[in-house]
Amino acid sequence: MNNNPYQVALAAILPRQATNIARHTLASGETVWVRKAGKSIPQWRYTLIGYFAAIFHLNALKPVPNPGGRAVIATEAERLQILEAHGVHVPHLLARSADGIMFTHLGEHTLLECIEHETDDLTRWQQGLDAIRAVHEHGQYLSEPFARNIIACPDGSTGFIDFEEDPGQYMSFTACESRDYLCYLQSTAIILKQRGHLDAAVRLWHAHTRTLSPTVVHDIQAAVRPLLWMRCLHHPRWGKDPLRLAALAELIHLEHRTYA
């Protein structure tokens, strides 16, 4: 008989959970999340960002293979345990089976929400940059650190979620580092531009690059170079994904032009 209450709860939840990922409140009042094995393919791989990544050979922005099913469950469980063991703030794995995992709730607000709505959006943006660098300094990498997958925790710390894929199985550690930054930058540059803070973000990004490996900085610039023509795209008719890439290209271009 299993005396782990989380394991018992997971076994009870999995058969009745309709979606791949869902939030639950246990009898104790604790909030947890359960991921269930299924056809778990990130929605963003069907967007134009994935399309541009393919046609321009932007390896750092290409979606990492996601086999779905039980393989995803095993990958996330392993990544959560490895990252936590290296001091990265990720959800704590509470229970696991071949068909699902249960893990802790880090907080209510994503960094994306904070950057979009708080007055001091640049401080929040810097918080994300620093948190990603700290992960790399621990010898680790993330999966898809878009701002929506970064949590502004109640204690002031920064947490990361969503580890269905393991980029380290397909690319070098340095490539994983540059990919982490590109995911974050392309998900936030457009917000800062819309709020009139892109020039200030350029200064912060330049200061941040001076703390990074020259190889990582070079790889980021090389990845964005094929997109530089897009920085002139401004009209809403282009759609969200091209405009995200346009803002990313503008951020990297302005930093290079200003400080080269």
Spell out the per-residue pLDDT of the chain, length 260, in tens: 467 999 999 999 999 999 999 999 999 999 999 999 986 455 444 454 555 555 455 556 666 767 778 999 999 999 999 999 999 999 999 999 999 999 999 999 999 999 999 999 999 999 999 999 999 999 999 999 999 999 999 999 999 999 999 999 988 999 999 999 999 999 999 999 999 999 999 999 999 999 999 999 999 998 888 888 877 777 677 667 778 888 999 999 999 889 87
pLDDT at position 57 is 54
Residue 163, pLDDT score: 96
Same domain, 229 and 124: yes
State the chain's maximal CA–CA distance in angstroms.
65
Query: Does 143 share its domain with 251?
Result: yes
Q: Within this chain, do residues 240 and 156 fall inside the same structural domain, yes or no?
A: yes
Phi/psi region, residue 42 (left: phi>0; alpha: psi -120 to 50; beta: rest), is: beta
Same-domain pairing of 15 and 72? yes
- One domain, residues 78 and 184: no
Q: Are residues 83 and 16 in the same domain?
A: yes
Number of domains observed in the structure of the chain: 2
Last residue of a domain, one of 73, 104, 135: 104
Residue 113 sits in the same domain as residue 99: no
- Together in a domain, 50 and 170: no
Name the domain boundary from 55, 76, 104.
104
pLDDT at 61: 62
Q: What is the pLDDT of residue 232?
A: 79
Pairing of the two strands 100-104 and 31-36: antiparallel
Q: What pLDDT, on a 0 to 100 scale, did the predictor assign at position 247?
A: 92
Same domain, 176 and 132: yes
Query: 74 and 153: one domain?
Result: no
The two structure tokens encoding residue 7: 């394991």
| Domain carrying residue 92 | 5-104
Q: What CA–CA distance (Å, rounded) separates 194 from 11?
A: 46
Same domain, 12 and 94: yes
**What CATH number did the domain enclosing 58 receive?**
3.30.200
Pair (54, 126) in one structural domain: no
- Which of 59, 85, 104 marks a domain boundary? 104
Q: Supply the pTM of this predicted model.
A: 0.90
